[in-house]
């Protein structure tokens, strides 16, 4: 494979077929090249593509991971966030960026770190999916990204519902560490989906957007809006669960404080009595009586009993 080209495909009269060089099948009706932007030879190849506007060159080479969308001279440029993929652990929760440039006969996608959705697209094309034009290619790319986000949102929803069911059934109290992990995942998904939706919405509203790409942007924006609403529902469930856990903890603390307060109130009079008879002063009552200790003990118990009765009457 030519250095810098991770995978590519070309639409010819025989259908969509894989290509192994960036300049292969130059006469095809449409080509899609997925590039490794960390390879310096890829950057030199991009510099030779004079048909691309300068803004698209800068977008492809930018290290900025924030979502953005631009349209210039009929060429569409996008930077969309996606979760990175690790060779050992599979998909991670580390957010990366996918750079996309779409022309009528060519689509370039590139990344500095492996991206999960690009591997999904490669597998779908290998299974025989036909990519006939730029609209189909962009729809396939952003659709794969939306599919991955949808799977993560469903997993997140199942996790929070499981924790909520366990709490409501009083089997086990969810660990704070698990709830914090869910909150972090929800926050990352909300940030990623919101940024992607905003970029595609700006693209949808751009008057210079090619008509072939307009339905793709509109469809994906609606789908991302629904996913963002689902993430918001998960965050609302998480807040309610945290509130109930905090209320349960506060009630348990109040019960413990109540018990300690009652014990302190009951023991205080007895402590006063024992403190009084413990003074080493002359003329102390019952000091020389055989039953003095018993009398003092009875007085201490009586004082505690009187306190208990007083507390009971006052409820």
Block means of pLDDT (10 residues each) for the chain, length 315 residues? 80 87 85 90 82 88 87 91 73 83 92 88 89 91 92 91 82 78 90 92 90 91 93 91 84 87 82 78 72 80 83 77
Q: What are the structural domain ranges in the chain?
A: 5-248, 278-314
Q: In what order do the strands lie in the sheet with 30-36?
A: 15-19, 5-12, 30-36, 106-111, 90-102, 75-86, 68-72
With both helix axes pointing from N to C terminus, report the angle between 214-277 and 176-205 in degrees, rounded to the nearest 10: 150
Q: What is the CATH number of domain 5-248?
A: 3.30.460.20
pLDDT of residue 13: 83
The model scores a pTM over 0.85:
no
Rounded distance between C-alpha atoms, residue 86 and residue 116, angstroms? 9
């Amino acid at each position: 494979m030519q250095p810098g080209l991770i995978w590519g495909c070309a639409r010819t009269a025989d259908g969509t077929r894989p290509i192994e060089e960036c300049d292969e099948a130059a006469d095809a009706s449409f080509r899609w090249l997925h590039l490794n932007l960390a390879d310096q030879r890829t950057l030199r190849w991009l510099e030779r593509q004079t048909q691309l506007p300068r803004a698209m060159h800068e977008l492809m080479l930018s290290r900025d991971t924030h979502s953005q969308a631009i349209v210039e001279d009929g060429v569409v440029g996008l930077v969309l966030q996606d979760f990175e993929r690790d060779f050992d652990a599979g998909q991670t929760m580390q957010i990366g960026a996918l750079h996309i440039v779409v022309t009528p006969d060519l689509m370039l996608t590139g990344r500095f770190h492996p991206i999960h959705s690009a591997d999904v697209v490669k597998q779908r094309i290998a299974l025989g999916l036909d990519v006939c034009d730029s609209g189909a290619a962009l729809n396939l790319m952003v659709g794969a990204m939306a599919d991955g986000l949808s799977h993560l949102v469903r997993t997140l929803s199942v996790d929070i519902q499981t924790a909520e069911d366990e709490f409501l059934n009083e089997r086990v109290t969810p660990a704070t560490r698990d709830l914090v992990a869910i909150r972090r995942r929800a926050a990352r998904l909300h940030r990623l989906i919101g940024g992607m939706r905003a970029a595609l919405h700006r693209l949808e509203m751009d008057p210079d957007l090619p008509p072939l790409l307009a339905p793709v942007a509109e469809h994906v924006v609606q789908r991302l809006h629904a996913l963002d609403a689902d993430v918001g529902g998960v965050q609302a469930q998480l807040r309610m669960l945290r509130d109930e856990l905090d209320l349960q903890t506060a009630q348990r603390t109040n019960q413990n404080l109540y018990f300690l307060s009652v014990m302190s109130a009951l023991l205080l009079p007895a402590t006063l009595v024992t403190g009084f008879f413990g003074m080493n002063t002359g003329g102390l009552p019952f000091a020389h009586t055989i039953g003095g200790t018993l009398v003092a003990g009875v007085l201490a118990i009586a004082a505690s009993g009187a306190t208990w009765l007083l507390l009971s009457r006052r409820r």
